[in-house]
A and B are shown apart, each in its own frame.
Chain A
Amino acid sequence: MPVVGKNLPHDSARGHVSGESIYVDDMPPAKNELIVDFFYSPVAHGKIKKLDLSAARKVPGVVALFTHKDLDGENLFGPIIQDEVLLAEDAVHFIGQPIVVIAADNRAAIKKARRAIKIEIDELKPILTIDEAVAAKSFIGQTRAIRRGNIKEGFDGAEHVIEGTFINGGQQHFYLESQAAVAYPGEHDQLVVHSSTQNPTEVQEVIAHVLGLGQHQVVVITKRMGGGFGGKECQATHPAAMAALVAHKTKRPARISLSNDDDMTVTGGRHPFQNTYKVGFDRDGRITALSAHLYSDGGAFADLSPAVLGRAMCHIDNAYYLPNVEITGTVCRTNYPPNTAFRGFGGPQGVATIENIMEEIAAYLKKDAYDIRTLNCYGIDDRNITPYGQVFKNNYLPRLFRELAERCHYKKRLEEVKEFNAISRTHLKGISMSAIKFGISFNTKFLNQASALVNIYKDGTIQVSTGATEMGQGVNTNIRQLVADEFTVDPEDVIIMPTSTEKNNNTSATAASSATDLNGSAAVAACRKLRERLTECAAEYLASQMTDIEKSPGNIVFENGLIYDNRRPDKSVSFKDLVVIAYHRRVSLGERGFYATQGVDWNWETGSGTPFLYYTQGCSVAEVLIDRFTGDLRVKRVDLLMDIGRSINPGINRGQITGGFIQGMGWVTTEELKYSARGELLSHSPTTYKIPNIQDTPEIFNVDWIENDDNTLNIKGSKAVGEPPLMLGISVWTAVKHALSFVSNGKLPKLRIPATNEEILMRMTQYAKHPGAGDEQLKQPALLP
């Protein structure tokens, strides 16, 4: 019986529920181990005048302090543009930028040393908003563009035009396990580093780079992460490099584990965007032209910002066909920690921009936004080419829109919402359907590769190592099921090993939802080669056991852990026995598999290409209830319907959908980052940064997907599911916008992301107090004194 498609538990579930799973900070301390932490910039922008470490060195328990001068390699690095330093040299660019690495025997000494470091900084005026960055022309990389059709004709032909500004705030990953690493020094300057990272290869490379070592001297191992969400794609590197620095210099094991407050303060998150748009449409609401300029807040260093912006630009069309379009985008350099990958990777900002526009066209024309969306939805045979020229194949969106609307009685409930709002003086309701079409693959072509190592042992059990890292998303469980099926063995006989740069070299980050696609394919490729050898061996062996058949590998069948020649199914050999036979015949029982996605390509010069192998799709209907006096928001009901191809593990996919949705809902509702006018993050712990609570889950929450097996391009007809559902959370926000349209006096209801109770109440108050006021354009939220 195949196990692909079965709802098996997560391979770590039993350890998780009993507290036995080991995370980096749970690894038993080694003798002599040092605790590592760092001293960081207290100002957002300035020149370091003087750094005095003498008092800190005297703190009992402090073993070493390191600055950039102690790096034997290069301080400067960066995944796309090399503009980032591990330790500040003469300037600081954000509050939280590391300056001094501290190593001590105990945590108390670290605290004291941090306080004892004296620094004098000449403060410079920081850039703390996108507006300030634009005014100062403070950008990262160049402005990019995607164009199609004739934008002028598109607007000339439009009956109506709306112009507006879209603003979204950032988001903290809030992985529960903070950034952490332990580094063990070895012989000949070698290092073994256990890191909570989505990207062991990058950690390895950066450690070698900053310490002046060869990459072959550094092994990075990742057993698991207590959540990543993109936050450990690039930014796990810094703490790991600090631990490595200490281990390398002191020859003692060194451990770092950031406090939650520090983690939130010093690492970046989802990019705030400020987008201006102009959309032309006809009387029915059909879009004739869209021009938009996207500005993202990249923070102080490039990190992955250019790539995030690229994905935002490739997702502003979302589910909708834009005949004439001009999208430009610029990354702003500001004095915040560098913003980075976060589940969706720019997709959410692009998608929210157009879903916002859909809601506005509907409010403008006084039509049902559902009708506007379906009218503009990509076609199956025509109107099916994206602005960047990729043909949208296997388009399930029209069906998803229709089917979900019927299933959740959208039209009837819309009428009920209208009636409710006409009667209730205390509350306001809104209902909205939004969609997602999310492109799967890294936009950067060369990242679409993976390798796997499969070792079969003499008792028939199997170890698999891939470049994928496990952060809860279940990639290991998926790969386990894929591998078990290749040999028709019990999945319990397959273990997915910790990710190690020693087993798999030059791996890509576990990101872009594609870990299973890439690494699962590589693992299967390895299994196929092994299976070919075992088939040969079985054919020979079985033929030798029987007089009536000749050796014929083509007749060999693997089934339920037994291998037989289909001409004599009664005579079989168990997998375990076959492995022993193969071993004795000196057949190799280990294999490496490699996979590179075919047919994807992208060109920034032309803003076009076929960046995605396929699209994961879905729709969501959210109904919200708002307190007219407090702005408090409750999500009453959510219905999701997705196309995720065929599931390798439906239970794991379901968890990705519910988790992604709620995380997206958090971004658009309660997760608000508050900064001071000094550029300091004030909401740096769960006390003030509010991710959704269990009580915030929708009162009714229906999750489903359609049956579909036409994704022949990907492993077992599956589709990536990690990121797409996050963007369905946007329906909660568009539902708030819909609710506000009932009180906005016929004007377009403006709303920022996140729609906190304050944001909602202040909008409603403005409508009530100034009924005649015109459409107000959105501004960035104020910084606190």
Chain B
Amino acid sequence: MRDYLLFYVNGQEHRVGGQDVFSPLSTYLRYGQGCTGTKVVCAEGDCGACTVLIGRAAGGTVEYMPVNSCIQFLYQLDCTHVVTIEGLKVEGKLNPVQEAMVDFHGAQCGYCTPGIVVALCSLFDCKTQADEQDVKDALTGNLCRCTGYEPIIRAGMNVALERVRSTGELYPPQEMIARFGEHQGRPALIASEGKTCFIPATVEEAVDFKEKNPGTVIVSGGTDVCVNINKRGLDPDVIMSLSNIAGLSDVKVENSHLVVGGRASLAALADWAREEMPELYKIMWLFGSPQIRNAGTLAGNIANGSPIADTLPWLFVMEAVVEMTGPAGKRLIDINSLYKGYKQLDMAPGEIITRILIPLPENNETIRLFKVSKRQNLDISAFAAAIRMTIEAGKIHSAKLAYGGVGPVVLRLPKTEAFLEGKEAALTTFGNAGKLAREEITPISDVRGSKDFRLQLAENIMLKFFLETACGREPVCR
């Protein structure tokens, strides 16, 4: 069995075993390699100062995307190419993104700047032109305390695009792809000072390992697990990284179901939703940041099981089905019966999530998703809701409601659903439904919002739904 990781940093091959495997990429870069351009501020994915590009082999080339290096541990980075701020100059000179940042005063104290430059370069890796919203969307994961962002936005909109050279051009992919190819199919098992990390190449290997090592912590995108390691004292002895398992990363439509692979990133889901399901896209756009969506997975959101996981209310009203693969084979479970308590899942020790199947809605259904957080973007919900209804001739035929942030698990509201069904779609109906919804939930006060706030949101969201959807006949004002 392979006992090292293989990856590249700015075009240089690194083979790493031992304790380093268990450290965050940012630590490896800053303290191990002296690449101090990558900054660490929060160490939990919320500021973007540590942003680097991660390249993975895809379709004969290496595809790059920005991620937070503070919550990417080396064991997640087998067979990748890491490009840091140190690797972005072109022939020793500032690249056009960097030049624009200089010319438009995009940097003041400079501490956020490497992360901003990396994220912007990534935008221009795939875009030949960018408008203001594109720049904002690319930098949602990067906080800046000095500039007020406006100079950065102007820099982003004034990049000399004709001179931009993509990361793929800067780093010829052939050799890396060949090396990755040699390694990816071979599982790796690395043990050092009481810690073990397994990187399976297939689902079978994964299931087998997990069954034999019941305490194993699965790491997929790591956007939950690695935060828990950095901040909440999680210190797993045995880790299994799913990053090399092939064939689980697709998002596609099959038999009137949306089928999301167990390794599919939230970014891939968002990309699909942009055209196909704008209402879902709205929520995906609010989900974390580009860096978080690039790393994080839908399966991780489900398995983490937080009552404020943003995809869950949607999955609940869609009555999504989760495919678990275990030693005994595959099993399907309705997401509405997956959760047994706060972060308690109906999942056997040997099982992993391999697919999520979401029945596509009918044309006559109205689906609205809501997320309320203190800050609009890159914030965890104080309250989330999904409302799915069929309303015909002014009458509610069916109603499915799910709320997040109002109890230990995401909740369906059976009483309110029953109340709504058969009623006239009128303001008073929704007003009363809102009052009823309050009764069905048990929110608490915490740092993201008070109990009263959440109760009020639970009530109001019904009215918001009514007034903002076609049935409200109100001008939608935004």
Question: Are B109 and A655 in contact, with the CB atoms below 8 A?
Answer: no
Residues in chain B near residue A536, CB distance under 8 A: none
Question: Are A695 and B376 in contact, with the CB atoms below 8 A?
Answer: yes
Residues of A within 8 A of B (CB): 9-10, 12-23, 25-26, 28-29, 173-178, 224-229, 259-261, 420, 423-427, 471-474, 625, 627, 629-630, 632, 634, 651-652, 654-655, 657-663, 670, 672, 674, 682-683, 685-688, 690-697, 701, 703, 756-758, 761-762, 765, 782, 784-785
A174 to B85, CA, bound (A): 23
Partner among A19, A224, A260, A625 whose Cβ is within 8 Å of the Cβ of B41: A260
Question: Are B149 and A694 in contact, with the CB atoms below 8 A?
Answer: yes
B69 contacts the other chain (Cβ, under 8 Å)?
no
With A176-B145, A697-B150, A762-B453 already in contact, 14 other A-B pairs whose C-beta atoms are closer than 8 Å: A13-B101, A14-B94, A14-B102, A17-B114, A29-B31, A177-B111, A420-B477, A423-B475, A627-B464, A629-B457, A682-B447, A693-B377, A695-B140, A761-B460
B439 contacts the other chain (Cβ, under 8 Å)?
no
Residues in chain A near residue B139, CB distance under 8 A: 694
Residues in chain A near residue B89, CB distance under 8 A: 18
Q: Which of A20, A225, A625 has the most CB of B within 10 A?
A: A20
Q: Which of A225, A425, A657 has the most CB of B within 10 A?
A: A425
The 3 closest A-B pairs by CB, nearest first: A19-B37, A472-B109, A16-B110
Partner among B36, B146, B447, B478 whose Cβ is within 8 Å of the Cβ of A22: B36
A115 to chain B, nearest CB (A): 10
Contact flag A688-B448 (CB < 8 Å), given A178-B41, A261-B231, A694-B142: yes
B190 contacts the other chain (Cβ, under 8 Å)?
no
Question: Are B374 and A18 in contact, with the CB atoms below 8 A?
Answer: no
Q: Chain B, interface size: which category?
A: 35 or more
Q: Which of B113, B143, B474, B475 has the most CB of A within 10 A?
A: B113
Question: Are B464 and A426 in contact, with the CB atoms below 8 A?
Answer: yes
B98 contacts the other chain (Cβ, under 8 Å)?
yes
Partner among A226, A423, A654 whose Cβ is within 8 Å of the Cβ of B151: A654
Contact flag A691-B376 (CB < 8 Å), given A13-B101, A423-B475, A426-B464: no
Partner among A177, A423, A762 whose Cβ is within 8 Å of the Cβ of B456: A762
Partner among B105, B379, B460 whose Cβ is within 8 Å of the Cβ of A629: B460
Question: Are A20 and B49 in contact, with the CB atoms below 8 A?
Answer: no
Contact flag A690-B151 (CB < 8 Å), given A13-B102, A655-B108: no
Question: Are B94 and A17 in contact, with the CB atoms below 8 A?
Answer: yes
A465 to chain B, nearest CB (A): 20
Question: Are B477 and A28 in contact, with the CB atoms below 8 A?
Answer: no
A686 to B475, CA, bound (A): 36
Question: Are B42 and A686 in contact, with the CB atoms below 8 A?
Answer: yes
Question: Are B376 and A19 in contact, with the CB atoms below 8 A?
Answer: no
B39 to chain A, nearest CB (A): 7
Of all chain B residues, the one with the shortest Cβ separation from A657 is B148
A753 to chain B, nearest CB (A): 14
Residues of B within 8 A of A (CB): 30-31, 34-39, 41-44, 46-47, 49, 84-86, 88-89, 94, 98, 101-114, 117, 135-136, 139-140, 142-153, 231, 370, 372, 374-380, 382, 445-450, 452-453, 456-457, 460-461, 463-464, 467-468, 474-478
Contact flag A685-B46 (CB < 8 Å), given A16-B110, A16-B113: yes
Partner among A9, A474, A670 whose Cβ is within 8 Å of the Cβ of B102: A9
Question: Are B148 and A663 in contact, with the CB atoms below 8 A?
Answer: yes
A22 to B147, CA, bound (A): 20
Partner among A175, A420, A652 whose Cβ is within 8 Å of the Cβ of B105: A652
Partner among A28, A29, A176, A687 whose Cβ is within 8 Å of the Cβ of B49: A176
Contact flag A690-B375 (CB < 8 Å), given A19-B86, A23-B111, A426-B474: yes
Partner among A227, A427, A696, A758 whose Cβ is within 8 Å of the Cβ of B450: A758
A173 to B467, CA, bound (A): 40
A313 to B44, CA, bound (A): 40
Interface of B is mostly: loop
Report 28 cross-chain contacts, Cβ distance below 8 Å, ordered by A residue: A9-B102, A10-B108, A14-B98, A16-B107, A19-B113, A19-B117, A20-B37, A176-B111, A176-B143, A176-B144, A224-B110, A227-B111, A227-B146, A472-B108, A629-B460, A655-B108, A658-B147, A659-B147, A685-B44, A688-B448, A690-B375, A694-B149, A694-B152, A697-B149, A697-B150, A757-B372, A761-B457, A762-B456
Contact flag A17-B477 (CB < 8 Å), given A472-B108, A687-B42: no
A663 to B147, CA, bound (A): 9
Q: Which of B85, B380, B447 has the most CB of A within 10 A?
A: B447
A357 to B89, CA, bound (A): 53
Q: Which of A16, A173, A178, A423 has the most CB of B within 10 A?
A: A16
Question: Are B111 and A761 in contact, with the CB atoms below 8 A?
Answer: no
Interface of A is mostly: loop
Partner among B46, B86, B376, B377 whose Cβ is within 8 Å of the Cβ of A687: B46
Question: Are B147 and A425 in contact, with the CB atoms below 8 A?
Answer: no
A662 to chain B, nearest CB (A): 3
Residues in chain A near residue B148, CB distance under 8 A: 655, 657-663, 692, 697
Question: Are A765 and B456 in contact, with the CB atoms below 8 A?
Answer: yes
Question: Are B38 and A19 in contact, with the CB atoms below 8 A?
Answer: yes
Question: Are A227 and B36 in contact, with the CB atoms below 8 A?
Answer: no
Partner among B39, B41, B445 whose Cβ is within 8 Å of the Cβ of A785: B445
Question: Are A670 and B375 in contact, with the CB atoms below 8 A?
Answer: yes
Residues in chain A near residue B108, CB distance under 8 A: 10, 472-474, 655, 659
Question: Are B110 and A426 in contact, with the CB atoms below 8 A?
Answer: no
Contact flag A629-B463 (CB < 8 Å), given A424-B477, A694-B152, A758-B450: yes
Question: Are A13 and B107 in contact, with the CB atoms below 8 A?
Answer: yes
A629 to B477, CA, bound (A): 13
Residues in chain A near residue B47, CB distance under 8 A: 176, 686
Residues in chain A near residue B30, CB distance under 8 A: 26
A25 to B49, CA, bound (A): 14
Contact flag A696-B150 (CB < 8 Å), given A18-B98, A762-B452: no
Contact flag A18-B147 (CB < 8 Å), given A226-B110, A629-B460, A696-B376: no
Of all chain A residues, the one with the shortest Cβ separation from B227 is A687
A701 to B150, CA, bound (A): 8
Question: Are A17 and B42 in contact, with the CB atoms below 8 A?
Answer: no
Of all chain B residues, the one with the shortest Cβ separation from A729 is B148
Of all chain B residues, the one with the shortest Cβ separation from A651 is B105
A767 to chain B, nearest CB (A): 13
Of all chain A residues, the one with the shortest Cβ separation from B86 is A19
B442 to chain A, nearest CB (A): 15
Q: Which of B111, B370, B478 has the most CB of A within 10 A?
A: B111
A123 to B27, CA, bound (A): 38
Residues in chain A near residue B460, CB distance under 8 A: 629-630, 761
Question: Are B109 and A658 in contact, with the CB atoms below 8 A?
Answer: no
Question: Are B43 and A654 in contact, with the CB atoms below 8 A?
Answer: no
Question: Are B42 and A655 in contact, with the CB atoms below 8 A?
Answer: no
Contact flag A693-B452 (CB < 8 Å), given A472-B146, A658-B148: no
Partner among A21, A26, A226, A756 whose Cβ is within 8 Å of the Cβ of B374: A756
Of all chain A residues, the one with the shortest Cβ separation from B454 is A758
Residues in chain B near residue A177, CB distance under 8 A: 39, 41, 109, 111
Contact flag A695-B377 (CB < 8 Å), given A176-B145, A425-B474, A472-B110: yes
A261 to B47, CA, bound (A): 13
Of all chain A residues, the one with the shortest Cβ separation from B376 is A695
Partner among A629, A658, A693 whose Cβ is within 8 Å of the Cβ of B150: A658
B99 to chain A, nearest CB (A): 8
A496 to B326, CA, bound (A): 64
Residues in chain B near residue A259, CB distance under 8 A: 43
Residues in chain A near residue B370, CB distance under 8 A: 630
Of all chain A residues, the one with the shortest Cβ separation from B133 is A695
B464 to chain A, nearest CB (A): 4
A160 to B112, CA, bound (A): 50
Residues in chain B near residue A701, CB distance under 8 A: 150
Question: Are A686 and B143 in contact, with the CB atoms below 8 A?
Answer: yes
Of all chain B residues, the one with the shortest Cβ separation from A630 is B372
Contact flag A761-B145 (CB < 8 Å), given A176-B111, A694-B136: no
Of all chain A residues, the one with the shortest Cβ separation from B108 is A472
Residues in chain B near residue A174, CB distance under 8 A: 145
